[in-house]
Amino acid sequence: MELGKLEILADRLLAKIRKRPGHEYNPVSLAKSIKANKDEIFSAVTILKRLGYSIKTDHNKKLVFVSAPDRLFEEEILHRLKTKMIGRKVYAYQSVQSTNTIAHQLALSKTPEGTIVVAEKQTKGRGRMGRQWHSPEKIGIYLSIVLYPGIDPKRAPGLSLISAVALAETIKALSIKDVRIKWPNDVLIGGKKTAGILTELSAEIGRTHHVVIGIGVNVNQRASDIPEDLKDKATSLRIAQRKAVSRIDFLKEFLVRFENEYNRFKKSGLRGIRKKILAYSSLLGKEIEVQSGSGKIAGKALDIDNEGHLIIETDKGKVTLSAGEVTLH
């Protein structure tokens, strides 16, 4: 059997045996039920094992599905995904330059809203302010979501904030303490960055064509995986949790939370989520300095409004900012 056909068979076999983990399947009956022969079943098992699936084949040659690998495969993302729109179409790669670049290309060819692009590794991961996003293989989540929210581009910063809240809540659900959002795009644990959001738009004045939300999460990095120059600024879920975290479970949980917040945002903007944004914010009441398009502004962070703008009190009065890079004084 050709490799392509064998892979399709492997998918069918996996779909069947994962329904009952621990159950002993008879390969002859399995072969019948998925229209293959016994040898093909065992070739398919070899393919699945190579991908990291744990399948026991005992001395009677009975097949037992044990577990799936923590890999960002399309099959794993779609398996029991509880969303209606976000992540229903998946492009999963081993290595790409940047998932955001691919997501923009897909948006231009009118991929359905909610399409996601994930990769195990990025060679040119983009961060905000032209920085690079360190994207080591198989220990982080590198995700881009394609949206067509049809909003005025002025409201787009709200999309970063709803993503930040969805991330913060997903992290908190792991029982990790001291999770904060550093306006406008960072998620911190114990004051150190664990996730970043890069929201990119294709827009004209007054109208957004498409939005790509790029999200990078440090998941299973150990302290030794964090680059030397970031050691006092960055952390990971694994470091906070003191044990490995399932990237696939985290991703799926995040997609559900993101979808809920996105639907709410389309109906009523940030009104419904503002309380959470404020509760998670690491800046309010603090003396800060913001580097934005219009230069450096120093003052006290007072509020985040319904547009997602940060309001700071400076010695010249109140200033409202829609984006910027914040440093704490």
Residues at the site binding ligand BTN, with contacts judged by CB under 6 A: 98-100, 122, 125-128, 131, 133, 142-144, 185-186, 196-198, 214-216
- Is the Cβ of residue 49 or residue 134 nearer to ligand BTN in the bound state? 134
- Is the Cβ of residue 48 or residue 240 nearer to ligand BTN in the bound state? 240
- Is the Cβ of residue 126 or residue 192 nearer to ligand BTN in the bound state? 126
Residue nearest to ligand BTN (CB): 196
Q: Please give the full DSSP string across 191-252, using - where no structure is assigned.
A: TEEEEEEEEEEEEETTEEEEEEEEEEEE-S--GGGS-GGGTTTB--HHHHHTS---HHHHHH
Contact 268, 281 (CB under 8 A): no
Query: Is residue 284 exposed (0-12), middle (13-18) or buried (19+ Cβ within 10 Å)?
Result: middle
Cα dihedral: 246, 248, 252, 254 (round 10):
60
Place of tokens 């007054």: 206
- Is the Cβ of residue 36 or residue 197 nearer to ligand BTN in the bound state? 197
Closest contact distance (angstroms) between CB of 2 and ligand BTN is 34
| Total residues belonging to the chain | 329
Closest contact distance (angstroms) between CB of 313 and ligand BTN is 26
Closest contact distance (angstroms) between CB of 125 and ligand BTN is 4
Closest contact distance (angstroms) between CB of 131 and ligand BTN is 6
* Residue at 110: amino acid letter: K
- Is the Cβ of residue 34 or residue 212 nearer to ligand BTN in the bound state? 212
Nearest to 146 by CA among 120, 93, 97, 110: 110
Closest contact distance (angstroms) between CB of 217 and ligand BTN is 8
